[in-house]
Structure 1
Amino acid sequence: MSRIVLVTGGGNGIGRAVAARFRAGGDAVVITGRNGERLARTAAGAAAGAITCDATDPEQVARMADELGPELDVVVNMAGGNTDLTAPAGDGVGEVLRAWRANLDANLLSAVLTTTAVRDRLRPGGSIINVGSIGAEYAASSYGAAKAALAAWTAGLSSEVGPKGVTANLIAPGYIAETGFFQGKLSEERRRALIAATHNGRPGHPDDVAETAYFLASAGARHITGQTIHVNGGAHTTR
């Protein structure tokens, strides 16, 4: 049976790959994002529904949930990004406060607001999949701290939705090529270092994350919940 899948930040990069993977599996996919034109282009080429929505704005999130409808099977909170890469540099207290709030809004509260708005629509057997980062393991920046908080929140969320037959997990990607994450600011030296840190000697691809998300929403993953799944080629290992 076709599932109803919501992918925030689904207009480009990893979010677009995640949406495409679920669509390829026969699911009905709705993508959201702030850029309405980009969403429309993505939806037109892949037969997905699209709702323009800033996931950090509670009014827009509530409206999106109403447009989505009464039932949902999977939500993938992909919206986010390192706002430090686009914010003006500054080390004053005010600048630090703005930078931290921006990353917390984009990478933590966007997922909290979206999930809160749609969780009662999730049917038994549903899945909540949040997308974090390897940066959470080295959380000296506002981005890393926000992603670390997202992982902690996901673990607690699992205990709340589990009795309803819903799982909640987090995917933590490492370096993923072919996205706009670094906003053109990734040097060749840094890129080589990120690849060298892996065990398999290659950068990640959006499809690596998409396939993991698809698995976590599958029947084979119903006893996997409250977990952080690292997708980084061994750049960060766990036991």
Structure 2
Amino acid sequence: MSRTVVVTGGTAGIGRRVARKFAESGDTVVITGRSTERVQQAAEELGVRGIVCDAGVPAAVERFAELAGPVVDVLVNMAGGNTDLTATEPGATSLEKLTERWQANLTANLLSAVLTTTALRGRLRAGGSVINIGSIGAEYAASSYGAAKAALEAWSAGLSAQLAPTGITVNTVAPGYIEDTEFFQGTMTEQRRAQLIGSTHNNRAGTPDDVAGVIEFLASPHARHITGQTIHVNGGAYTTR
């Protein structure tokens, strides 16, 4: 049976690969993004439906929810990113600026998922899946980005208990260093890349396919007893017991 899959932030990088994987499996896929041009181009290339939406703006999310359709089987909250990497000022010079920087990352990485999930909650089909995208940065949460992702993981675990009576699973996928994405916004150096790869057990960078495959599994019938978890995809750069 064809499912309806929503992938926020599905125009590039991991989100685009996730959307492609579900579309190739025959699911009806809806992607979102903030740029009209990028949403239209990605939707056409992937053969999916595109809706322009800034997931951190309540009114935009409400409009999106009305357009998304009556039923959603899988929600992948991919929208986000480290807003510090695109900030016009390299560092906070006052408490006011520091507040703005933290609010930006909290909105992009936590509130975006909360708003989208809340807006679609009544449309989530029993037995479906909500998959949030965290980060290895949550394990070292000294930055606003890491703290936002840590909060996302905590919220995700709590949401799992709320949605479990209807058979909906809720999990977080936390990638480590993933190449072939726009995440670092041109700030990655060869030295930093070597350090990140060197911290893994398998001595390689991750790929969007590595993450998309885990997301596909978590949304499958084989993962119905996995919920409330954070699944790390980092080649051993951070290990759990």
TM-score range, shorter chain: over 0.9
Distance 2:6 2:33 in 1: 11
Are residues 1:126 and 2:135 paired? no
2:206 aligned to 204, 207, 229, which one?
Answer: 204
Which residue is equivalent to 1:33? 33
Describe the superposition over 1:16-65 as per-residue Cα deviations: whole angstroms up to 9, x where unpaired: 00101111111000000101111111111111000000001111101100
Are residues 1:73 and 2:73 paired? yes
Which runs of 5 or more residues in structure 2 are unaligned?
A: none
Which runs of 5 or more residues in structure 1 are unaligned?
A: none
CA positional deviation for 1:94 = 1.1
Are residues 1:168 and 2:170 paired? yes
Which aligned pairs between 1:38-77 and structure 2 lie closer than 5 A? 38-77=38-77
SS in structure 2 of the partner of residue 128 of structure 1: strand
Distance 2:98 2:176 in 1: 25
Which residue is equivalent to 1:3? 3
Which residue is equivalent to 1:23? 23
1:154 aligned to 144, 153, 156, which one?
Answer: 156
CA positional deviation for 1:91 = 3.2
Aligned length: 239
CA positional deviation for 1:193 = 0.3
Distance 1:46 1:83 in 2: 27
Describe the superposition over 1:124-177 as per-residue Cα deviations: whole angstroms up to 9, x where unpaired: 110000000000000000000000000000000000000011000000000000
What is the percent sequence identity of the aligned residues?
63
Describe the superposition over 1:62-89 as per-residue Cα deviations: whole angstroms up to 9, x where unpaired: 1100001111100000000000011112
Superposition RMSD on alpha carbons, in Å?
0.6
Distance 1:12 1:145 in 2: 24
Distance 1:105 1:218 in 2: 29
TM-score for both structures, normalised by structure 2:
0.98
Q: Tell me which moved more, 220-229 or 91-100.
A: 91-100
SS in structure 2 of the partner of residue 226 of structure 1: coil
